[in-house]
Amino acid sequence: MVELVLIPLLKIIVVLNATLLGVTYMVLLERKVIAWAQSRLGPMRVGPYGVLQPVADAMKLMLKEDITPARADKWVFTLAPILSMVPALVVYAVIPFGDEVHLFGRRISLYITDINVGLLYVVSVTSVGVYGIILAGYSSNSKWPLLASLRASAQLISYEIAITLTLVSVVLMSGTLSMVGIVTSQASQGVWYAFIQPMAFVIFFIGGLAETNRAPFDLPEAEQELTGGFHTEYSGMRFALFFLAEYANMIVVSSVATTLFLGGWLRPFPNVEFLSFLGIVPGWCWFLLKSFIFLYLFIWVRATLPRYRYDQLMRLGWKVLIPLAIANLILTAIVKVALA
Amino acid sequence: MADVKVAPPAGPPDPPPPVDLPVPAAIAGLQSAMPGAVLALSFFVGDWTVIVDRAAILDVARYLRTASGAAFDICSDVTATDWPPRPERFDVIYCLFSTTHGQRLRVKARVADGDPIDSVTSVWPAANWLEREVFDMFGIRFSGHPDLRRILMPDEWQGHPQRKDYPLEGPGELLLENPLDWLKLRQARDEADIE
Amino acid sequence: MAEAIAFYVLAACILGFAVLVVTAKNPVHSVVFLVLDFLCVAALYVTLGAEFVAAIQVLVYAGGIVVLYLFVVMLVNVKRPPEAFRAGGRHATLGLALAGAVLVEAAAIAVWSRLSPAAPASAAQTVPVSGNTEQVGWLLYTSYLVPFEVASMLLLVAMVGAIVLARKES
Amino acid sequence: MFDTDELVINMGPQHPSTHGVLRVVLRLDGEKVVDADVVIGYLHRGVEKLSESRSWAQIVLLTDRLDYVSAATSNVGYCETVEKLMAIEVPRRAKYLRVILSELQRIASHLLWLGTHAMDTGAMTVFLYAFRERELILDLFEEYCGARLTYNSMRIGGLPQDLPPSWDRKVLEFCRIMEGKLEEYETLLTGNRIWLARTKGVGVIDGAEALALGLSGPPLRGSGVRRDVRKDEPYAAYDEMEFDVPLGVAGDTFDRYAVRMQEFRQSIRIIRQAMQGIPEGPILGKVPRLIKPPAGEVYHAIESPKGELGFFIVSDGKSTSPYRFRVRPPSFCNLQALPRLVKGHLIADVVALIGSLDVVLGEVDR
């Protein structure tokens, strides 16, 4: 009973809470990092160095009036933020944060579950997240959100193809779709896939920016163009759900990137003997560190680059990234067959 | 500024140029090309002004734009002045500049209230909004203008604010006797639009 | 026992959503129900132990194709007047005929598979690999290679056709 | 086959990228702009009408509120027009100070343009960098006249006060800092592929059409027309300054950007020259106590950061306020070209083009 129900339940509770806490502090981190990039201080008022700012934000959003526009499609309007939040959280079920730890005399694996189609599960669940944005735009009965949702649906579908193709290259290397299996295969092959699949890594990063609607691909919520994009008409907690979903998706993308390309919980250079002293740092710390670097890159890019235009975004996706991803896939297959 | 009310002036002084001052080539050319059109010349603090016949304004504009000696390719400004005591109460003023010759010229035409004047948008597209503003502020109609609507004031505004007989503080109760009626009217119109 | 309960609950959901897809007045609502329907079908696959097919079902149908449906529904103004729903005599007969044809087909398959049940099971037993994904892959590239390639050609042709149709003469 | 309509959408008057209360009614085919109608007047305060009942000296205050991010140049324009009308000789020192203040103002105005233009295309860091440097100029103005936005920094006949002590050193120090910062902005934008993709070939207008549409200032020079009031009809002490007029070639958004980026450097060059050659002497000419110009009409134009800022003033010679006060606002005339520029482009280009025209609605609506 303990093995079957209690431990998974505890894991789910821990992961969900850690995620939500991480997401709120992700917001603070982003504000701080961008502020430093722009020679500002960022939030400083709530708590020392503004560390309690997320709490204040959450309070504000929860207490705010939740407005539904008069001619909105009411139940779709309510459904949309939930549809965008749920997939972002459900994905964490298969992400391996670490290997195994011994706790209270038990061996506990640091992932909720390891299913044999883990990677496919990630891709398919995140692909459902686009409904939140599309339905939000449609149900608001407002023209700007509608434009944003049209942009979002085209953008997310296009970049999903490129991302999925890069994932296939990784699967070719590892020979498994299991997330844990991919990490262990990197350990056994003694190299992070970022080094032998650099092209896939870069395409995944760019596609990840686009999939999470981050600058320079933040067209569905381009404030300067679409007055806030798909969530223009949202307020209060429903707006907060969209916001949290975006940051949760960022963490998902960086976790997946860490797992697939940066060796998950493995220490750097897992096969180099004289670096074994790095092994005293627990695996989940490495995982968090690598994910954090990825998240920092997301923020850094946002602070630096202007935004693409819709047609340019499409051109980049279809004419550059997808052909490159296909070429990379074919090349990987050829090399793999030649070596076998 | 409660200074003593003096009788409103009947028109600008338009001082004629000194006899010993040579007339610029562009103006001389205009005078010889269209002898009837130029009513008077004026020179004041270094600015040349040509006062032309209202009916001939489009021809004058075309000449000034195209003639090689004039080539006024920039229409800086179109504006108007109101002189209520005069029968032709408005002056429509065109401020021109020539990039080839580097000189300025003002063209003036007198228009009576209710009379139209030809639009010069076909010669200088820049005059489009400027003429709209003159229409909005003075109520001078420009015939042949592609899009003569109010520009600064709301579409349903009554009166023309820059006229001298228009009070500075606005029409007051005359227009907004009951603002709620006006709002209702507007709302009804908007809803009709949506349907 | 648990499996049977799951099956009947899911089947009821699938049928219920399918009815809602057809009866919803708003085409966007129809599409949302269709998504929910597909998700339930995916869950059904999971109960059958076919995780790969379930994941593909969600990825391709729920996450891809229906998004395009939604895209089209929102892009094209399909707000029909109420009369269109009432005066649909010809469409109703056509729909009934199609539904009848599908029913007959399903019944025929059921009867036929009851008469000779061993054929699909024997194919799976010859697969030398274990694991859901691997088995599907193996079968696709051995026994069903030709249909698989034909299907992909068909899709390619359809795609080219769509581009030709959508392209404006310039 | 399907019934597809054009989408009519209101951009503004409350919209993050319309720089105030501009409203653009867009007719869209997908995201492509089929037609645009610009609706203005939301900030109309009747400055022209109001001026007809204010004394000549009070109007300087009203000119502050035309282009409220470039008050000093509006002040210069108005004062010079009245001086021309009254034939007042302005002392050379005052002329030099006007040049310095105008050019500082030009840098401040262009900085605001740069920040908002970059922000509109999604590059938000440039916005804060630009405001950081603009702050230095506002500090300089604050030290000079006590105000940070609406300066009221000119008087008919000269200036209200002489420079504060050690102000000149601070200006030169600012010039030094600014040159370094310009490199920083250009690193972030000029070579950036996304920035180039967003600006090159967007809103192309050739020189002849730009002239015909009444563009002036950087948008006109971006199309390669050599027209700068400071060169063509020099005012203040610009005839004694040595500077270049930067010109564009293609007439697209990028060229308008490049022209303004060069104008930063030219402004710094002018400030340095003026600081070096500034003569000693009075700062206010001989002005009668009661300003009552002779009857007549006058038009005078200056080069404001936005373009040709003209004042047309009619005096009746009797009252202590103008009979007619007309502002030729460069933003108004430049904005007129917007429908022409955005046609056939995408929504994202509309905001980039509004940014590249650099309009201030206070001046458009007056």
Burial label for B74, CB within 10 Å (0-12, 13-18, 19+), is buried
Q: Are residues C35 and C51 in the same domain?
A: yes
Instruction: Give B192's contacts (C-beta < 8 A, 6+ positions apart).
Output: none
- Helix H or strand E segment including B17: none
B158 compared with B143, residue with greater pLDDT: B143
| Inter-chain CB proximity D121 and A224 less than 8 Å | yes
What residues contact D6, with CB distance under 8 A and at least 6 apart?
A: D27, D28, D29, D34
pTM: 0.83
pLDDT at D127 over 50: yes
Q: Say yes or no to pLDDT of A2 above 60.
A: yes
* Beta bridge partner(s), residue D38: D24
Question: How far is the C-alpha of D188 from the C-alpha of D203, rounded, in Å?
Answer: 22
Burial of A4 (0-12, 13-18, 19+ CB in 10 A): exposed
Q: Does D5 touch chain C (CB under 8 A)?
A: yes
Quick check: do C and A touch, 3+ CB pairs under 8 A? Answer: yes
Q: How large is the ipTM?
A: 0.78
Residue D323 tokens read as 């009979």
Neighbours of C36 (CB within 10 A): 17
Rounded to the nearest 10 degrees, how much is the dihedral formed by the CA atoms of D299, D302, D307, D312?
Answer: -20
The reply to whether C77 touches chain D by the CB within 8 Å rule is: yes
Confidence tier at B1 by pLDDT (50, 70, 90): very low
Same domain, yes or no: C3 and C58: yes
pLDDT tens across D251-299, in order? 889 999 999 999 999 999 999 998 888 888 888 888 888 888 888 889 9
- Residue D268 is predicted with a pLDDT of 92
Residue A90, chain C, CB below 8 Å: the answer is no
Residue C148 and residue C96 share a domain: no
Which residue has 């034939």 as its token pair?
D87
Q: Are B63 and B31 in contact (CB under 8 A)?
A: no
Instruction: Tell me, yes or no, whether C16 lies in a domain.
Output: yes
Mark yes or no for CB contact A153/C70 under 8 Å: yes
pLDDT of D2 = 46
Residue C64 at interface with chain A, using a CB cutoff of 8 Å = yes
Residues of B with Cβ-Cβ distance to D45 under 8 angstroms: none
Q: Could you give the 3-state DSSP secondary structure of residue C48? A: coil
Residue C103 domain-assigned? yes
Cis peptide bond N-terminal to B171, omega within 30: no
Can you give the pLDDT at residue D1?
37
Please say whether the beta carbons of A33 and A296 come within 8 A: yes
Q: Cβ D3–C77 below 8 Å, yes or no?
A: yes
CATH number belonging to domain B25-165: 3.30.460.80
Domain architecture of chain D: domains with CATH: 43-365 (1.10.645.10)
Closest chain C C-alpha to D338 CA, distance in angstroms: 27
State the DSSP H helix or E strand holding residue B103, giving kind and residue range, or none if neither.
Answer: strand B103-111
3-class SS letters over chain A: CHHHHHHHHHHHHHHHHHHHHHHHHHHHHHHHHHHHHCCCCCCCCCCHHHCCHHHHHHHHHHHCCCCCCCCCCHHHHHHHHHHHHHHHHHHHHHCCCCCEEEECCEEEECCCCCCCCHHHHHHHHHHHCHHHHHHHHHHCCCHHHHHHHHHHHHHHHHHHHHHHHHHHHHHHHHCCCCHHHHHHHHHHHCCCHHHHCHHHHHHHHHHHHHHCCCCCCCHHHCHHHHCCHHHCCCCHHHHHHHHHHHHHHHHHHHHHHHHHHCCCCCCCCCCCHHHHHHHHCCHHHHHHHHHHHHHHHHHHHHHHCCCCCHHHHHHHHHHHHHHHHHHHHHHHHHHHHHHC
Lowest mean pLDDT among A245-259, C123-137, D26-40: C123-137
Statement to judge: residues C145 and C96 lie in one domain: no
**Is residue C154 very low, low, confident or very high in pLDDT (cuts 50, 70, 90)?**
very high
> Is residue D2 within 8 angstroms of chain C, CB to CB?
yes
**Distance between CA B177 and CA B173 in Å, rounded?**
5
Contact indicator for C52, C132 with CB cutoff of 8 Å = yes
Q: Between residues B189 and D108, which one has the greater pLDDT?
A: D108
Residues of D within 8 A of B41 (CB-CB) are: none
Residues C32 and C102 placed together within one structural domain of the fold: no
Residue C73: which domain range?
1-80
Task: Domain count for chain C, please give it.
Answer: 3
Residue D311 pLDDT level (bands cut at 50, 70, 90): very high
Q: How many of the other CB atoms lie within 10 Å of CB of D141?
A: 20
If asked whether residues C66 and C24 sit together in one domain, one would say yes
Q: In what order do the strands lie in the sheet with D32-39?
A: D7-11, D23-29, D32-39
Q: What integer is the mean pLDDT of A143-164? A: 84
Q: Hey, where are the domains in chain A?
A: 65-339
Residue B156, CB-side half-sphere exposure with 13 Å CA sphere: 7
Residues C34 and C65 in one domain: yes
Measured distance CA(D39)–CA(A332) in Å, rounded: 57
D340/chain B closest Cα distance in angstroms? 11
The confidence band for C80, taking pLDDT boundaries of 50, 70 and 90, is: low
Query: How many residues can be counted in chain A?
Result: 340
* Contact: D233, B151; criterion CB under 8 Å: no
Inform me whether the C-beta atom of residue A312 falls under 8 Å from chain C C-beta atoms. Answer: no
pLDDT digits (tens, 9 = 90+) for A254-305: 988 888 888 877 777 766 767 677 767 777 888 888 888 888 988 898 888 8
- The answer to whether A128 contacts C68, with C-beta atoms less than 8 Å apart, is no
Where do the domains of chain B lie? 25-165
Q: Is C134 on the interface with A (CB under 8 A)?
A: no
